[in-house]
Amino acid sequence: MYSALVLAIAAGCASALTLQKRAVDFYAPTAGGGSELDNAGDGYGEPLNIIISGLSSPAVLTDDGFMNFAHALGYSEECLDLHAGGAQSANLGDGNGWVDQLIEIREDYGSTAVGTCLESLVGGNHFRVWRQNGSLADSGALFLAVSKEEDVFESHTIVPDGYDIGRNLLAQAAVGTTSYGGVTYSTTARNVTGLIAPGSDGVNHGIAQDGIVTVLTVEIVS
């Protein structure tokens, strides 16, 4: 009985440590040999143009917690959990090397159940997610590659200026007070430069981006 009690306390302590607020917003991927571009194949990548700060409420940075926050912004899992094309990878300079995306999330047009099926048809905003949690740079921050894409008839290519547009649309939806599933969020944003050079060098589809990464700090207020 004593052993069981010790194990229960230890498990509770581990859970509490997992949800402790981190000490930094994020670590620059390039500082650890990573990149602010993911790997989209053929030697090109998409900019990791939004970061969910490690200083956000810890629950937001979990898989389920972030998905709930995404719902609050009007985004959901892919249509019927189906994905066309391969997963992209990213190296966040945290010692984990190149790892596949955690999830791909799409604009849901007001319906968490089937709205992303509409996005797959008519196009819209979408993003991929990675977590910076390796032993060399364990910020817990989430790095997002956000873009606005064309409809299915244009093979879901990125719209002109689609990386900057996608980033701005997601940030605008997030800033201020949002809520979903009984959870209310307060989000602030700041723009950071110097993580990625502006322009189209190495960028997928040859679409130039402005070199700005938006950092969102998300607090659960109720």
Sequence ranges of the domains in the chain: 22-220
Tokens representing 49 are 């143009």
Task: Name the burial class of residue 188, with classes exposed (0-12), middle (13-18) and buried (19+) by CB atoms within 10 angstroms of its CB.
Answer: middle
Closest C-alpha to 212, from 25, 69, 49: 49
pLDDT for the residue 121: 64
Spell out the alpha helix ranges (H) of 19-110.
63-73
pLDDT for the residue 153: 54
pLDDT for the residue 183: 98
pLDDT for the residue 86: 73
Q: List, in order, residues 6 or more apart from 161 with CB less than 8 Å away.
A: 207, 208
pLDDT for the residue 16: 39
List of long-range contacts for 107-116, beta carbons under 8 Å, 24+ apart: 107/74, 107/75, 108/71, 108/74, 108/75, 108/76, 109/74, 110/74, 111/76, 112/71, 112/76, 113/76, 114/79, 115/76, 116/76, 116/77, 116/78, 116/79
Look-up: residue for tokens 């979990």? 62
Closest C-alpha to 73, from 190, 166, 212: 166
pLDDT for the residue 116: 61
pTM assigned to the model: 0.87
- Strand partners of residue 219: 186
pLDDT for the residue 42: 84
pLDDT in tens, the chain (222 residues): 434 433 333 344 334 345 788 899 999 999 999 999 999 988 999 999 999 999 999 999 999 999 999 999 999 887 755 545 578 999 999 999 999 999 999 888 776 666 566 666 666 899 999 999 999 999 999 999 999 987 655 455 799 999 999 999 999 999 999 999 999 999 999 999 999 999 999 999 999 999 999 999 999 999
Largest CA distance in the chain: 64
pLDDT for the residue 15: 40
